[in-house]
Amino acid sequence: MTNDLLGLIGRLRPRLSKGQRLIAGYILEHYDKAAFMTAARLGNTVGVSESTVVRFAVELGFDGYPGFQKALQEMTRSRLTSVQRMEVSDERIGSGDVLTKVLQTDIDAIRLTLDELDKSRFYAAVADIIAAKKIYIMGIRSAAALAAFMEHYFTHIFENVRNVNTTSTSVIFEQLMRIGPGDLFIGITFSRYSQRTFKAADFAKSRGAKVLAITDSLSAPISGVADHVLVAKSDMASFVDSLVAPLSVINALIVAIGLEKKDEIRDTYDKLERIWDEYNVYEKGEKSAARGNSDS
């Protein structure tokens, strides 16, 4: 229903009540703004009561306005251009206390993710990551930072990890050429969803590999080819993708895997610490303190 919500509204519009037709008309023309309005505000905007807005949502097949709004928001995020996102955020955040509003939005995203993430799916994904012969990780554009974070820690835990990261579609498939049964492809994508990540996931699936999707909705394109879908809420602050909740989920994956493989990881980090000491990778606390005292 989410993907064809505007089409559904358009088809039902002629047989709706007069007030509901006003709501439908406004949403069809201004879905980007309507998606983030409360029922009361939407009603005030079009000149109908809040109860009329709720009945409109029920007429479309939803249990109430919150379910309709959630579906409209999911559809909207995948359609908005960067300019439209800035306009929507200007209405939602305004020019007040931006710091508090943005951080509160991130807190809400983590809370919603915790409430809605299926824990059985999470632990099933952990098991398949541990069992994989080779792990391919892919995140495009802003999701590339999440893929790099995951790769950084996975290379400390697993021997065969590859970050599929390129702007060329043909090179992506060259990097995935040897993927097959027993391997795992991890696709990280959020609205507006990357076509390259979806195509790579579909290719991996066709070659017999398992697919883990980290995305913001079960209706995301990659969910259709994934063996596991971990939904992490990704709200938007202006043109910027908020990836706090997805990063937290990835952090949880790394910690869960670390606890399962703690003996191996302890040996790995013992070796790494010796290497880091030998090649002065990190500042030692006492040296930093001494330098600070001499500088002062």
Predicted pLDDT at 294: 45
177: left (phi over 0), alpha (psi -120 to 50) or beta: alpha
Predicted pLDDT at 99: 86
Predicted pLDDT at 163: 95
- Shared domain for 254 and 130, answered yes or no, is yes
Predicted pLDDT at 96: 67
| Model confidence, pTM | 0.71
3-state secondary structure the chain: CCCCHHHHHHHHHHHCCHHHHHHHHHHHHHHHHHCCCCHHHHHHHHCCCHHHHHHHHHHCCCCCHHHHHHHHHHHHHHHCCHHHHHHHHHHHHCCCCHHHHHHHHHHHHHHHHHHHCCHHHHHHHHHHHHHCCCEEEEECHHHHHHHHHHHHHHHHHCCCEEECCCCCHHHHHHHCCCCCCCCEEEEECCCCCCHHHHHHHHHHHHCCCEEEEEECCCCCHHHHHCCEEEECCCCEECCEECCHHHHHHHHHHHHHHHHHCHHHHHHHHHHHHHHHHHCCCCCCHHHHHHHHHHHC
- Shared domain for 43 and 146, answered yes or no, is no
- Shared domain for 35 and 173, answered yes or no, is no
- Shared domain for 73 and 209, answered yes or no, is no
- Shared domain for 49 and 119, answered yes or no, is no
Task: Report the C-alpha gap between 210 and 222 in whole angstroms.
Answer: 13
Domain of 26 in residue numbering reads as 5-79
Residues of the chain scoring pLDDT < 50: 1-2, 237, 288, 290-292, 294, 296
- Shared domain for 195 and 123, answered yes or no, is yes
- Shared domain for 183 and 240, answered yes or no, is yes
Q: What is the CATH number of the domain that holds 123?
A: 3.40.50.10490
Task: Report the C-alpha gap between 119 and 6 in whole angstroms.
Answer: 32
- Shared domain for 151 and 58, answered yes or no, is no
**Does residue 164 lie within any of the structural domains?**
yes
Predicted pLDDT at 2: 46
- Shared domain for 46 and 168, answered yes or no, is no
Note the pLDDT tens digit of each residue in 112-145. Answer: 899 989 999 999 999 999 999 999 999 998 899 9
Q: What is the CATH number of the domain that holds 13?
A: 1.10.10.10
**Does residue 95 lie within any of the structural domains?**
no
Q: What's the total number of domains in the chain? A: 2
